[in-house]
Structure 1
Amino acid sequence: MTVYVRFQSVVPNRSGRFPGVFALANGLARSGDLSPEDAAWHRAANDRANTMYTDPTTVEPDCYDRVLNPGARSWFRSSSVELLEMTKEYLDLLDRYDVGWVELRTTSPGRITYADEVQCVAVPPTFDEDWHRPRPIRG
């Protein structure tokens, strides 16, 4: 059974979404809030990640499409030890700047729109579509 891991914000952004670890770190960098040392580390870490791991949108351009795949979010496979180790450095960065995050784990992230050996993108289940099942009336 595959276990998927996600690190995301503890509070929603202005759009009501919970950004993942890389979006949170990129937001810090764009805001100019990083120290020069952390900004240099962030640039180098992103460059390294971009060479090591596939950007899902380069393979499946619509995997995050807001209409076709509303709420799609990325998950890491728990077996992706090297990727999770790299992610820990990003979490340390968030901790230094008091950006709250939470770790989520699941065996069913939702409807998968992209998958490779280390990650997947999935549309989360919704109550109405995935869990609400009318029960027959017994009488």
Structure 2
Amino acid sequence: MPAAERFVRFRSPRPNSHGVRVGVFALTNGLARSGALSAAEHERWRRGNAWFEAAYADPTLTDPAAYDRAANPGAVAWFRAGASGLIARTALYTELLDAHGVPWERVETDDPGRVVFEDAVQVIAVPWTPAP
């Protein structure tokens, strides 16, 4: 039997009002939208987002319903553990969160839930059970 594939997620340690532990991209986007980032941090964040947008396809362009709350409640993205370049680039976001005292955690699993989208580097999955 082949070894189970591992998945990695960087997220808030606490669920939001929808019961979802949002990922570090959303957390960092919140800092940027609120004006909390310095000019240098904002530029770093902007360049990081541009890199990700150029390097990886947006799943919602392929499947607009991937994050639909009615069809896929609680759906979240997980990186494939083998996507080391993607995972390494996430440090930009965790460093910005650390600098602003925003808590985050790294979690790993071999069963992210019901997969509703997948590509070479990530999956979007609905958890089997609601987040605590």
Scaled by the length of structure 2, what TM-score is found? 0.92
Hey, what does 1:89 align to over in structure 2? 92
**Partners of 2:124 and 2:9 in 1: how far apart?**
11
Aligned residues: 127
Larger mean CA deviation between 10-19 and 52-61 belongs to 10-19
Matched, 1:40 2:53: no
Matched, 1:74 2:77: yes
**Partners of 1:58 and 1:39 in 2: how far apart?**
25
**Partners of 2:19 and 2:127 in 1: how far apart?**
14
Matched, 1:15 2:18: yes
1:64 deviates by 0.7
1:10 deviates by 1.3
1:14 deviates by 3.2
- RMSD between aligned residues: 1.1
Unaligned ranges ≥5, structure 2: none
1:114-133 aligned within 5 A: 114-126=117-129
Q: Which amino acid aligns with 1:86?
A: R
Q: Which amino acid aligns with 1:48?
A: W
Unaligned ranges ≥5, structure 1: 128-139
Q: Which amino acid aligns with 1:70?
A: P
Among residues 63, 67, 81, which one is paired with 2:66 in the alignment?
A: 63
Contact 2:16 2:22 (C-alpha < 8 Å) held by counterparts = yes
**Partners of 1:31 and 1:14 in 2: how far apart?**
18
Query: Identical aligned pairs, as a percentage?
Result: 45
The CA deviation string for residues 49-84 of structure 1, in whole angstroms up to 9 with x for no partner, is 101011110111111110110000000001001000
Q: Which amino acid aligns with 2:114?
A: R
Scaled by the length of structure 1, what TM-score is found? 0.88
Larger mean CA deviation between 42-51 and 12-21 belongs to 12-21
**Partners of 1:39 and 1:28 in 2: how far apart?**
9
1:16 deviates by 3.0
